[in-house]
């Protein structure tokens, strides 16, 4: 019985939150990695692009609520996803045409494109703040919980309760669906294969008749879908605040590089590595150990390896370690 209780504690406070957070990071990391693999630059506007898509979801959710449309027990925001994605892709294509295209055709070094993306980051942040403002917004409606702690205790008779928030379940399910479709697209369809070819060797791909314009277009469309869905899922789970999205860029980068930048499988995996490391290293294990150890050995302290203040620092340290020992990431980088 104690063992089950201990497992439930672990599930409740570490595994489920880590899976949720990891899924959100994974979507962002695949976005970073796609841009890096195909357009060949580190996109510093990542966080703000995710924020841009989410902004439309927030605004549309408010609009839908005002005219009385809802999605039953699911959050209304899910209904707004297609519209938000559409706006996001429009914005990305606009930015690509006006800003990135020039440097791509000129074949500028990646650093220059990265600096340009810093400019895009500033502009995107300005637009977001001017439209929606920098305040914290919650836009979750519908059922909040799938299982509440008290219900779970009654149901099973255990001492520990298990809480599963609906946003956690939605995040995990949506991520699996989106990522599965994306990998199917990249591996099985002709367009996906041409994207992989373009990423592997641009000259060879052009020689074999792949249209670079189409590849770039499709890349931005997939990037738009990933960025918007990742952003909305994060916003539903926590809350929407532009500044936080900008900060999330850093663990997302960490996830992409840890997995091997340019490699979507690596990025997907990297998201979970970062999330699990952050949560497992900052969790206070006292309650978990109380169940497992005999009473005489019960710990006095919180049994916390690092304070939660260092959550971000952990993911960055992992990144630094990976960069030193395996610069191409856990999976070999630069392969889509």
Partner 1 sequence: MRNYLNIIIAYSIMMLLIILVGIFQSWSIALTIFNYCMISAVMTLGANIQWGYAGLINFGIMGYTALGGLAVVLVSVAPVPEAWSVGGVNMMTCLGIIILMIFSTRYILKNIQKSNKRNYLIAGIIIVGLILIKIIAGPAIEQIEAVDPAKTGFLGGLGLPVLFSWIVGGLFAAGLAFIVGKVALGLRADYLAIATLLIAEIVVSIIKHEDWLARGVKNVIGLKRPAPYEIDLQTSPWFINLVEKFHSAKLDLANSLSERQDILNQLVIDASSVYVKLCFAGMFLVVVIILLIITQKALYSPWGRMMRAIRDNEEAASAMGKNVVKQHLFIFILGSAIVGIAGAMMVTNDGLFTPGSYRPMRYTFVIWVMVIVGGTGNNFGAILGGFVVWFLWVEAAPIALFFINLFTAHLPETNEIKIHLINSAPYFRFLLVGIGLLLIMRFRPQGIIPEKIIKQ
Q: Which two tokens stand for residue 111?
A: 């650093």
Residue range at the interface with partner 1 (CB under 8 A); choices 69-77, 106-114, 171-179, 189-197:
106-114
Beta-carbon contacts of 266 under 8 Å, excluding residues fewer than 6 positions away, are: 33, 256, 258, 259, 260, 329, 330, 331, 332, 333
Nearer Cβ to partner 1 (76/219): 219
- Phi first, then psi: give them for residue 268, nearest 5 degrees: -60, -50
Other C-beta atoms closer than 10 Å to the C-beta of 74 total 14
Element (H, E) at 224: helix 212-237
Note whether 253 binds partner 1 by CB under 8 A: yes
Q: Among residue numbers 14 through 53, which ones bind partner 1 (CB under 8 A)?
A: 41-42, 44
Task: Tell me how far apart the alpha carbons of residues 293 and 299 are, in angstroms, rounded to a whole number.
Answer: 9
- Phi first, then psi: give them for residue 147, nearest 5 degrees: -125, 130
**Site pattern 312..331 for partner 1 (x: CB under 8 A):** xx--xx-xx--xx--x----
Per the CB < 8 A criterion, the answer to whether 28 and 101 are in contact is no
Element (H, E) at 296: none
From the list 4, 65, 109, 201, which residue makes contact with partner 1 (rule: CB under 8 A)? 109
Q: Among residue numbers 282 through 311, which ones bind partner 1 (CB under 8 A)?
A: 307, 309-310
From the list 111, 177, 204, 293, which residue makes contact with partner 1 (rule: CB under 8 A)? 111
Task: Tell me how far apart the alpha carbons of residues 176 and 195 are, in angstroms, rounded to a whole number.
Answer: 22
Nearer Cβ to partner 1 (124/219): 124
From the list 29, 50, 227, 254, which residue makes contact with partner 1 (rule: CB under 8 A)? 254
From the list 112, 187, 189, 208, which residue makes contact with partner 1 (rule: CB under 8 A)? 112
Q: Among residue numbers 157 through 196, which ones bind partner 1 (CB under 8 A)?
A: none
From the list 99, 149, 244, 292, which residue makes contact with partner 1 (rule: CB under 8 A)? 99
Number of shown-chain residues binding partner 1 (CB under 8 A): 44
**Site pattern 113..132 for partner 1 (x: CB under 8 A):** -xxx-xxxxxxxxxx-xx--
Q: How many CA atoms lie within 13 A of 237 on its CB side?
A: 26
Q: Which residues pair with 145 in a beta bridge?
A: 165
**Exposed, middle or buried, 131 (CB in 10 Å: 0-12/13-18/19+)?**
exposed
Note whether 250 binds partner 1 by CB under 8 A: yes
Min dist. Cβ of residue 325 to partner 1 (A): 9
Nearer Cβ to partner 1 (177/320): 320
For tokens 């539903």, the residue is 236
Q: Which residues bind partner 1 (CB under 8 A)?
A: 41-42, 44, 99, 102, 109-112, 114-116, 118-127, 129-130, 133-134, 246, 250, 253-254, 257, 261, 307, 309-310, 312-313, 316-317, 319-320, 323-324, 327
């Amino acid at each position: 019985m104690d063992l089950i209780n201990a497992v439930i504690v672990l599930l409740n406070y570490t595994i489920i939150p880590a899976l949720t957070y990891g899924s959100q990071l994974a979507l962002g990391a695949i976005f970073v990695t796609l841009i890096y693999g195909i357009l060949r630059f580190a996109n510093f506007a990542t966080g703000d692009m995710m924020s841009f898509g989410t902004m439309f979801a927030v605004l549309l959710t408010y609009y839908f609520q005002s005219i009385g449309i809802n999605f039953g027990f699911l959050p209304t925001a899910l209904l707004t996803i297609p519209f938000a994605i559409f706006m996001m892709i429009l914005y990305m294509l606009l930015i690509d045409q006006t800003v990135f295209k020039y440097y791509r055709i000129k074949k500028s070094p990646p650093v220059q494109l990265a600096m340009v993306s810093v400019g895009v980051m500033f502009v995107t942040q300005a637009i977001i703040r001017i439209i929606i403002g920098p305040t914290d917004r919650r836009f979750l409606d519908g059922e909040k919980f799938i299982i509440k702690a008290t219900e779970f205790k009654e149901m099973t008779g255990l001492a520990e309760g298990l809480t599963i928030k609906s946003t956690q379940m939605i995040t995990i399910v949506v991520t699996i669906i989106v990522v599965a479709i994306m990998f199917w697209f990249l591996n099985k369809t002709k367009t996906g294969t041409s994207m992989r070819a373009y990423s592997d060797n641009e000259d060879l791909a052009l020689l074999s008749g792949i249209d670079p314009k189409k590849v770039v277009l499709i890349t931005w469309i997939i990037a738009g879908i990933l960025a918007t869905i990742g952003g909305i899922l994060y916003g539903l789970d926590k809350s929407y605040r532009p500044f936080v999205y900008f900060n999330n860029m850093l663990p997302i980068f960490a996830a992409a590089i840890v997995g091997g930048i340019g490699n979507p499988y690596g990025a997907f995996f990297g998201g979970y590595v970062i999330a699990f490391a952050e949560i497992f290293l900052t969790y206070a294990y006292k309650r978990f150990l109380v169940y497992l150890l005999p009473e005489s050995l019960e710990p006095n302290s919180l049994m916390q390896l690092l304070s939660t203040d260092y959550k971000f620092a952990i993911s960055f340290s992992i990144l630094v370690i990976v960069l030193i020992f395996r610069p191409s990431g856990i999976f070999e980088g630069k392969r889509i």
